[in-house]
Amino acid sequence: MDETTAVREPVDLRSDTVTMPSDRMREAAANAPVGDDVYGEDPSVNDLEATAAEVLGTEAALYLPSGTMANQTAARVHTERGQEAIVETESHVVRYENAGFAQHSGVQIRPVDAGDRAVPSAAQVADAVIADDLHRPGTGLLCLENTHNAKGGLVATPDAIAAAAEAAHDRDVPVHLDGARLANAAVAADVPLSAFAAHVDSVSLCLSKGLGAPVGTVLAGSEAFVATARGVRKLLGGGMRQAGLIAAPARLALTENVARLADDHANANRLAAGIDGLDGLRAPARRRTSCSLTRPSRQSTPRRSSSAARTRASSGARSAPRRSVFAPTSTSTRRRSRRRWSGSRRSSSDRVAPRGSSTASGGGGGNRRRRTR
């Protein structure tokens, strides 16, 4: 087979999660000084966390195994069981995290459709916030996502993040930013990562997607937030020992690879332009940090059920219900447990004040809490 007919190895475009660590990352892993991170004694992890806090402009940061664990940890820290979390309808925490807010934090979601935006508008946030009363526990969190994964890598500008966050903060609702691909957003908007983090109470940043690290996400916020998050990470099984072997290459991803995402964006737009020239396919015409494909609109057809589902339907059989990972507890037990957790992990200035107290709400009732920003 000559060079003109040689078959090239295909490029894997399934996801930016299939990136491979560079030779420098492998070398950094091999030579990383390590210790026991659960005791706070791994110098490579400590170095990564300090670097992440500096880059994001926060007081502190915490290294976790995955972006999902980072989001779940943030929700657990910010909320009380039974509260609501405002989320975009197609956000990652809704589509890809296995109902984690409900399972891990006892929080129900209130989805808001942002349409062609990456995050809800300030008016949508204001309309979605509910105060706690006899019938409802109130809104405990606004969770934003940037870039928006399910919308083809759609970027929210710092102003859009600020507007949504301000609407929540005006109602004393904390804000978490799922920034799994926040580095892509920063490069696309030509702003530092801190431009987004400045408006929220906590922010995550994945290092193992387009940035190329083998493992890990950082979760950043105030010192009080990170101190509590460290305990939640342990609760969720995320306490790691000699994690410097993965933290050292992760730090290289953060310090050396962010600017290189511009090459990925250029390639995504180049691919999209080529796809637009193919009959029967098009790429959405918007600023892209990734490329999604759609077919020209046509009349939809009903989805066919699987053979197993058809068999169950014809026989009248029902699937066994899935059980929650957590056994149900009484309301009083949950509240006592939460008070013990809050008291042991938070300083007095950062604890959630009792509902209806003047300390929490400035004299009124409702869902009012002190924010740690």
Model confidence, pTM: 0.77
Instruction: Report how many domains make up the chain.
Output: 2
Question: At how many degrees (to 10) do helices 244-256 and 23-31 cross?
Answer: 140
269 & 235 share domain: no
Neighbours of 358 (CB within 10 A): 11
To 5 degrees, how large is the angle CA 119–CA 120–CA 125? 135
- Beta strands 175-178 and 202-206 are parallel
204 located within any domain: yes
- Are 193 and 245 contained in the same domain? yes
Q: Categorize the per-residue pLDDT at 83 as very low, low, confident or very high, splitting at 50, 70 and 90.
A: very high
pLDDT of 363 strictly over 80: no
Together in a domain, 283 and 235: no
36 and 75 within one domain: yes
Residue 229, domain member (yes or no) = yes
CATH number of the CATH domain containing 201: 3.40.640.10
Whole-angstrom Cα distance, residue 198 to residue 181? 17
Higher-pLDDT residue of 354, 372:
372
Whether the pLDDT of residue 288 is over 90: the answer is no
- Of residues 15 and 203, more confidence is placed in 203
Q: pLDDT grade, residue 350 (50/70/90)?
A: very low
Which residue did the predictor score with more confidence, 128 or 283? 128
Q: Is residue 213 part of a domain?
A: yes
Residue 328 within any structural domain of the chain = no
- How confident is the model over 124-183, as pLDDT tens digits? 999 999 999 889 889 999 999 999 999 989 999 999 999 999 999 999 999 999 999 999
Domain that holds residue 58: 19-256
Kindly state whether residues 108 and 158 are assigned to the same domain: yes
128: in domain: yes
The answer to whether the beta carbons of residues 237 and 21 sit under 8 Å apart is no
Please check whether residues 223 and 95 belong to one and the same domain. yes
What per-residue confidence (pLDDT) applies to 352?
Answer: 37
The residue among 194, 226, 256 that closes a domain is 256
Query: Is 248 found in the same domain as 264?
Result: no
pLDDT at 307: 38
CA distances from 333 to 106, 325, 330, 336 (A): 13, 17, 5, 5
Indicate the SS3 state at residue 350.
Answer: helix
204 close to 70: Cβ distance less than 8 angstroms: yes
Q: Which of 244, 275, 294 is the last residue of a domain?
A: 294
The sign of the torsion formed by the CA atoms of 136, 347, 125, 219 equals: negative
Contact 55, 49 (CB under 8 A): no
% of the chain surpassing 90 pLDDT: 66
Do the domain assignments include residue 177? yes
